[in-house]
A and B are shown apart, each in its own frame.
Chain A
Amino acid sequence: MKPFDLIKTTDPKHALLQKKEQVQYIAGGTNLVDLMKKNIQVPDTLLDVTEALGHRIDKQGKAVQIGAMARNTTVATDAMILRDFPLIAKAVLAGASPQIRNMASTAGNLLQRTRCPYFYDVTTACNKRKPGSGCSAYEGQNRMSAVVGYSTDCVAVHPSDLCVGLAALDAEVHVFGKDQKKSVIPFEEFHRLPGNTPHLDNNLPEHALITSIEIPENPFDKNCAYLKVRDRDSYSFALVSVAAALHLDGDRIIDARLASGGVAHKPWRWRDAEQFLRGKSATAATFGEAARLIVGDLKPLTHNGFKIDMLKGAVETALGQCLHV
């Protein structure tokens, strides 16, 4: 890889002052270092923020605040997360491997790049890597690619499992900007759709730092499931994944959350299906109808038509699993 300088800071304000074009923040490094090895990102300087950002998981009233540097393993094994936000722990454990989860940070998880193989192969065209060069996946090997929300410029999917859980639970992203001002981005507005600017993954302002993720209080601690369908049972990305959560009164659904990974450029919320489920009784027939509603809008590519049946089955299964926890 290209030689680079490594600097470290323990102060987020200091980090923001030092951040500029060829300076790249590094936290867990589980994705960035790969990208540097493959000459996809070639910063002159790495700015280590692992000690500049919080790693604590704190209850704020009934909400939880997860520090940007909380490692994935810490999040997945935290007693309070397991008790009050089990969907988050399930989603984290579905991703990566123990070694990677030990290194990976919460904020970094949001910022990881797509795993589209063309993005990682510098000998091929990729609008996300090199704007204007074209999308090799659109009519290429797109078995893993998007089935919703894509454009002809980019069919990549966001690889995170944690983010699917965070999207489902209406999390918020706390940001510390270059102007030293704090702001909050609702999770669904954090990641972008590709449109004609697929090189932009998200709406994090330039040079800004994520300081924490907040998950509001929710009634989904009892009936939730995270189902990930993949080619092997660990260390592989989702063909499709489903975060499902139900708030039940007896068998009546008061509220529902449904989100998916492996289907779009961002974690995808199925709002129509959630609305459909509200007030219905929690039966296999209801779940089947919700699943049908979801897959009605999918527009598969040349090699991923199977995702329709697979997602339908995964939604039904995940909703079913919500009742058996």
Chain B
Amino acid sequence: MRFFDKQNKEIPEGRVEAVDKVTGSGKFAAEYKVDNLCYGVLVDSTIPSGSIRNIDLTKAKQVKGVVGIVTHLQKPNVPGFATEDLIKQSRFGLPIFHTDKIHFKGQPIALVIAETLEDATYAATLVEVEYNTGGFQVDFDAAHPKIPLREAGKERGQIDSWSNAPYVMEAEYNIKSEVHNPMEMHATIAEWTSDRHLKLHDKTQGVNNVQQVIAPLFNLQKENIEVVSEFVGGGFGSGLRVWPHVLATVMAAKHVNRPVKVMLTRPQMFTGTGYRPASWQKIKLGADASGKFLGIHHQAKNETSLYERFSDQITRVTRLIYNFDNLKTEDALVPLNLSAATWMRGPGDCTGDFAIECAIDELSYKLKIDPVALRTKNIAATHHPDNKLPWSSNYLLECINEGAKRIGWNDRNPIPNAMKDGDWQIGYGMSVGMWNAGRNKTSAAIKMVRDGRIIVQTAMTDIGTGTGTGMKNIAHEMTGIPQDKITVELGNSNLPPAPSQGGSTGMSSVSGAVVDASNALKLKLAEYAALININFKNISPDDIHLSEKGISLKKNLDETVTYADLWEKNKLDSVVVEATSGPGEERKKYAFCSSAAHFCQVRVNVKTGKVKIEKLVCVADGGTIVNEKAAANQMSGAAVGGIGMALMEEKLLDAKLGGLIGDDLAGYHFPVNADAPIIDVSFISKPDPHINPTGAKGLGEVGIIGTAAAIANAIYHATGKRLRNLPITPDKVLG
């Protein structure tokens, strides 16, 4: 295995994978060379509902190079899908090639396998399908009013107790569906290395998760499935599930008894790997004259597929940030003829926070209280408002103060629609976001080899977040071994097990394991050193410093046993230690959160409706910042994602035809460089005392939770127009 082993000599603090990524030598899932490989291309249904009456493969099979076609009628045995009950129990989602039912337009119904990608692509266009068409509904706006709400979590206080509050804000918010669209398309190479062994190169955010999902479907031991995902070109949540194309590839490899590669096309990325579901929300928010919140009633609905129900848990964040003595949350799912939705960066909270933060902003103008002051007054700064546990750390108020300073909040004219520059109106807006800071049990290993280099290993993937770089930084910090003597291996299921990288838990989870492994390495080396120098006996990791050359005592660095001596005396070639670290009792005593404050300055053109983001300030509390560049990079990316959510991202549907429209990167707009300023990112950078040994809390989500609200609030301040439906495209600004 060779992962991130090229040292970045020019920028030693830079990313471990930088050289491999920039030079192209790093391999993404679809780029591996596998002997005897053939190529699969999925055929998608052209209708949104009904069933398959007939599939005619005659013409497709005549294409030179076609080696096989998998359909629901011709397929290898998948024991885990043998009966309807087993399919249900598997909770896999779409039972690909195990049904003649069509649930959405774009549903994969056949996989054509050929010697070349070109042959497979062409033959796939020649598969002729006859359907029995059924009725369908893809229009969320039309469907959701008919779906009743149900309680989402326990009611707090009394919803009626504040209905006569002197200041009440009530409004509805709609957000169109967004699609992850990471740069790298999802791809899988499946190779059966024996009847009982499978090797997968897969674009995923969790190699162990792929093992766990695929193994029972084929009655395999999960250890017998090797999953490799060394380089991942972005995920945003799309890689947290094992999608139908992965199973299709595994089936295809069995069907033709050869390794098969399937890479989704960009349009297939719109229906094959999830999306942030479209949502409707209604907020009723009340306050007394001093601005103290009296209560909130938050209702939310999100679209979902017919074949599996996905709740985005939009009202979860309602219970997180502010003190509401009275709180009621309700939600509902709206099943439509669409593919399955899934978690997308800041899932649920991003959506719920938009409505809450816009409502609070609107209320602040009614109350004539500064939006910053109104939030500061009501933030639950000491305790989690729902479970009442004290925060282990919560520096959101500091984030707000710092953000206000950076954007010059107090220098603005607070009156809406008052600042102008020719045809441009200028406005400022802000919001806050928060995310439950999680941590999962994770293992890491460290191997030291003869020349004193160490290799830090975990199965966790690095989806561009800087996980590998952070691991190297922590190992250096903990051991003393120079950065250029540390390499990282990750993203392979043969390495020590780790959870999927998602929900801002990656660094929080793996950092504890690297700390523990570093300490274990020190102790192991001290044990060997003690056989040479008695002073190394019975010492603690804190007493030990590891250098390029050997192991030393911190209090007397001259007291050193060289690695050369250590290997020779103990007749060793290498030392390997492994450690597992996870959450414990602290979770019963404390609540954990990451948070951020977002401030925005916009210009809005009165004549064309164009919105330009002039400044975007994001100040985050993510606990200890392990690597500032990687962390800031992640925050910038999230903020740009927030610009997309606010101003342009929208999965378009044709309600009459029941399918997507413009499902490519020309039709689906996310921001380009010209749409985003340089994001002003900064961190509070104080360790959380309890979350894990490093104090790092995780940052993946809070960069986007709140961004869209800050932008919408700034547009209001600029124009006096309250726009509650995303995305805010120029036509809505003019409307």
Contacts and interface: CB of A to CB of B under 8 A. Distances in A.
Contacts of B648: 231-232
B616 to A, nearest CB: 15
B401 to A, nearest CB: 32
Interface residues of A, number: 34
Interface residues of B, number: 38
Contacts of A317: 423, 605, 607-608
A306 B731 contact: yes
Contacts of B659: 121, 123-124
The secondary structure that dominates the A interface is: loop
B122 interface: yes
Contacts of B664: 120
Contact of B671 (A227, A232, A237, A239): A232
A136 interface: yes
B558 interface: no
A233 interface: yes
A299 interface: no
A115 interface: yes
Contacts of B423: 317
A77 interface: no
A2 B122 contact: yes
Interface in A52-105: none
A140 B138 CA distance: 14
Interface string B627-652: 00000000000000000000110001
A312 B666 CA distance: 26
Contacts of B418: none
Given A117-B652, A136-B654, A231 B734 contact: no
B656 A140 contact: yes
B52 to A, nearest CB: 15
A3 B64 CA distance: 11
A316 interface: yes
A235 B666 contact: yes
Contacts of A136: 654, 657
A307 to B, nearest CB: 8
Interface string B579-614: 000000000000000000000000001111110000
A1 interface: yes
B45 to A, nearest CB: 9
B118 A229 contact: no
Contacts of B735: 306
Given A1-B118, A310-B609, A231 B672 contact: no
Interface string B686-703: 000000000000000000
Contacts of B666: 115, 235-237
B134 interface: no
A136 B652 CA distance: 14
A232 B728 CA distance: 12
Contacts of B671: 232
Interface string A107-128: 0000000010110110110000
B675 A233 contact: yes
B661 A141 contact: yes
A290 B605 CA distance: 20
Given A143-B731, A306-B735, A233 B607 contact: no
Interface string A223-249: 000010101111111010000000000
B725 interface: no
B171 to A, nearest CB: 22
Interface in A185-237: 227, 229, 231-237
A313 B605 CA distance: 9
B724 interface: no
Nearest to B606: A313
B656 A232 contact: no
A101 B340 CA distance: 37
A140 B674 contact: no
Given A141-B652, A143-B731, A121 B661 contact: yes
Interface in A117-156: 117-118, 120-121, 123-124, 136, 139-141, 143
A41 to B, nearest CB: 13
A229 B609 contact: yes
Given A239-B730, A317-B423, A140 B654 contact: yes
A39 B731 contact: no
A231 B730 contact: yes
A285 to B, nearest CB: 15
B130 to A, nearest CB: 14
A314 interface: yes
B105 interface: yes
Nearest to B610: A229
A313 B669 contact: no
Contacts of A140: 654, 656-657, 661
A317 B423 CA distance: 9
A123 B105 CA distance: 10
A251 interface: no
Q: Which 9 A-B pairs have the closest CB atoms?
A: A313-B607, A306-B731, A233-B674, A117-B662, A123-B46, A117-B661, A234-B674, A229-B608, A234-B672
Given A1-B121, A141-B653, A232-B674, 5 more contacts: A2-B125, A3-B122, A118-B661, A231-B669, A237-B666
12 contacts: A2-B125, A117-B662, A124-B654, A124-B659, A141-B653, A141-B661, A229-B610, A232-B674, A233-B672, A309-B734, A310-B730, A317-B423
